Structure 1
């Protein structure tokens, strides 16, 4: 699950209760979420020990879990801007190559996303000036409103199988 660097910095940086976090793109890091019955929280170093998992295994397990749930992704809207729905954790979709490969055929140019909050995802194409402007304005509105779980004002472009800041 992507987190803003500000949120990530609010957690302990070391020790058994420190969440397992990985540097990612722009101003985002990735954390791994444990659902109930484990407390609805981020995976910690202690959890890795208890579950006998390494970082690489954790990443593979998380990717497999996400891949198994992708049929629940919903695309809303019409070009030049789409929104995605995914049970309140839309930003998690940023970690799935399959989602962006399939959406690439529906936009003008490269896929560009705005993920201003964990549960808000806007999608457009790099060659749609109107779409880029709408996504940028929509992201700014989410930040201005002080939405819960803010992530990033930066737009990201899907290029050669990975994200880059636009």
Structure 2
């Protein structure tokens, strides 16, 4: 049972909220979800992804707190490794759509739909920021350091510092996701995300020392 439950752990990228809207009464330490700092205002938390037809997209998430780790058989320090493994197991359909006019790519993590139906967008694309194997391969396809826009949990667009027009495309994508009323005729559902999944306006650059905010 423990092994089965641990296979449900997935990484959730989140952004720190301003102090004025934080919980007035914080959760007890053992109930507070495990959090790992990432870059800028972004951090990683972990959750059990559970099928639920009544929930949005047919799944719900139960956050992993320190007290859950023993029950799951996974040490808190091993959650990221386990979650990244599970991410690709649970989202087996990796799609790369390169823009025709600039060196930039939108990456999607699909999951199988009903028999005969197309795959559904996976909802965890931003968590690919944690998949070092995938990032190493993607970095080989661009010049300079890898740059990523992850304006929402289910949006991942990448380019390289050697492609200024590609970086501009990433900034455009961020604007599309965050715009309340685009009014430009855009109908691509890739930019329609739930408000609760929004993350950051910043672009991230992968340096030798780790991820940084791109100035």
Same fold (TM over 0.5): yes
Q: Which residue of 1 aligns with 2:204?
A: 156
CA distance in 2 between partners of 1:92 and 1:141 (Å): 20
Residues 1:19 and 2:33 aligned together: yes
Equivalent residues in 2 for 1:5-154 (5 A)? 5-6=16-17, 10=22, 12-36=26-50, 40-66=61-87, 68=89, 71-78=92-99, 79-86=102-109, 87-145=122-180, 147-148=193-194, 149-154=197-202
Q: By how many angstroms is 1:151 displaced?
A: 0.7
CA distance in 1 between partners of 2:91 and 2:45 (Å): 19
Structure 1 stretches lacking a partner, 5+ long: none
Instruction: Assess if the C-alpha contact under 8 Å between 2:66 and 2:76 holds in 1.
Output: no
Computing the radius of gyration from Cα coordinates, the structure with the larger value is 2
SS in 2 for 1:19: coil
Please identify which structure carries the higher helix content: 1
Structure 2 stretches lacking a partner, 5+ long: 1-11, 53-59, 110-121, 182-192
SS in 2 for 1:76: strand
CA distance in 1 between partners of 2:14 and 2:27 (Å): 14
The verdict on how the C-alpha distance between 1:28 and 1:34 changes in structure 2, with shifts beyond 3 A counting, is same
Q: How big is the alpha-carbon RMSD for the aligned residues of Structure 1 and Structure 2?
A: 2.5
CA distance in 2 between partners of 1:10 and 1:35 (Å): 24
Provide the aligned length of Structure 1 versus Structure 2: 165
What is the CA deviation profile of residues 119-153 of structure 1, one whole-angstrom value per residue up to 9, with x for unaligned ones?
11111111111111111121022112384210111
The verdict on how the C-alpha distance between 1:104 and 1:60 changes in structure 2, with shifts beyond 3 A counting, is closer
CA distance in 2 between partners of 1:161 and 1:65 (Å): 26
